[in-house]
């Protein structure tokens, strides 16, 4: 049997939900709306990062790279600069879905 993929590597993919799919998970949206910093801290905690790193372009880029999600640092910057709540909620939804799938 031939090994086709290296262990721990993921095929190129997209985020599992769209940037503007905030209403698909109202709990995460409400959490981010009420305490945006707490949402960022929960993301950082899930990724074993410092709580201060949970918001913005750097954590999004690290996550995207780790799971081989298509995109660029420029796209990460634009998403977090112009729609920070949507970008942060999208990241949290993706983490939650990957946990459910057992691939986080």
Degrees, nearest 5: CA angle 36-38-43? 100
Rg of the Cα atoms in the chain: 14
Token representation of residue 7 = 């262990």
Cα–Cα distance for residue pair 40/84, rounded to 1 Å: 11
**Predicted local confidence at residue 97, as pLDDT:** 96
Confidence (pLDDT) at 8: 54
What tokens does 64 get?
A: 């995207």
Per-chain mean pLDDT for the chain: 90
Q: Does the pLDDT of residue 57 top 60, yes or no?
A: yes
How many angstroms separate the CA atoms of 99 and 93, rounded?
10
Residues 6+ apart with CB under 8 A from 16: 93, 94, 97, 98
Strand partners, 69: 13
Q: What percent of the chain has pLDDT over 70?
A: 90
pTM: 0.87
């Amino acid at each position: 049997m031939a090994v086709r993929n290296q262990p721990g590597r993921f095929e190129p993919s997209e985020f599992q939900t769209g940037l503007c799919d905030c209403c698909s998970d109202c709990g995460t949206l409400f959490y981010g709306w009420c305490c945006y910093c707490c949402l960022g801290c929960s993301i950082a905690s899930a990724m074993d990062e410092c709580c201060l790193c949970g918001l913005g372009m750097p954590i999004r880029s690290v996550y995207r790279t780790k799971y081989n999600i298509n995109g660029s640092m420029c796209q990460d910057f634009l998403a977090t600069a112009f729609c920070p709540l949507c970008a942060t909620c999208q990241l949290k939804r993706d983490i939650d879905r990957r946990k459910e799938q057992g691939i986080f």
